[in-house]
Amino acid sequence: MQSDQIQDAAKNAVKVVMNADIVPLKSSDFAIASEHLAAAFSQDPLISNFLPEDTAAKQRALKQFSRGFLNFAQPYSHIYTTADAPKGVAIWLPPEAFQITLLQLWQVVTSGLLASPFYMRWTRIKDFLALLNTQIQLHEKLSPEAHWYLGMLGVSPKCQGQGIGGMLLQPVLERADRTKMPCYLETTTPSAVRFYQRHGFEVVHQGMFLDHEYWAMKRYPKS
């Protein structure tokens, strides 16, 4: 076997191991998954503007939103975590999630997402809804075609720096490449922008809201 073939075989072996380490999240693990997501987003500079200053109340708000989003995304079956025990979570929405139907509206009602604003600062709910509307309009403008949407990605702070975040992306990135479909996300920190750039995303919009930057990013399918 030639050296380049050996290298290719090694890469494929590593990919198989990585894929084996990532599995669909079970609904019985939603509680711990929402805790990991809440911890991962607790220092987010933009989201923190809408949350209570009290630490416990802030965590309750983040866990409520995370659990609601997990419930909403569950029927689409593209929520991923680590195999041994949940150390991080990636919540993906497939293209069909953006087809407005009665079933989807029912999912919003029953998921608990509508209750999320009641856990925020009352004086910031209007600003939160304004940001949400801005992001929805931007999303529709920048990615009107069928695409995958990364709703949330978070790794437990004690497990960060181990490559888990990148591994959690792979199931959908590989599928998107096979089906020639783009991926889209929003993020709010420069470090997250660099992380997603390493995985093939590029910045398609940079904006400001409440004196904080946010970015929209898109990844085109790789051959």
pLDDT given for residue 75 in this prediction: 92
Amino acid 12: pLDDT: 41
User: Among residues 140, 150, 155, 154, which one has the least CA distance to residue 205?
Assistant: 140
Its pTM surpasses 0.75? yes
> Residue 176 has what pLDDT?
98
Taking the C-alpha atoms of residue 210 and residue 223, their distance in angstroms, rounded to an integer, is 39
pLDDT of residue 109: 52
pLDDT at res. 50: 87
**Stretches in the chain below the pLDDT threshold 50:** 1-18, 102
Q: Which pLDDT value is given to residue 65?
A: 92
Can you list the domains of the chain with their CATH numbers? 3-219 (3.40.630.30)
Interatomic CA distance for residues 79 and 70, integer angstroms:
8
Q: Write out pLDDT tens, residues 5-37.
A: 333 433 343 343 345 599 999 999 999 999 999
Q: Give the integer Cα–Cα distance in Å for 172 and 146.
A: 14
Would you state the pLDDT for residue 215? Answer: 97
The pLDDT, as a whole number, for residue 171 is: 97
pLDDT for res 83: 94
Contact 148/184 with Cβ under 8 angstroms?
yes
Residue 101: Cβ within 10 Å count:
9
Task: Report d(CA 133, CA 136) in Å as an integer.
Answer: 5
Task: Write out the two tokens for 7.
Answer: 């290298």
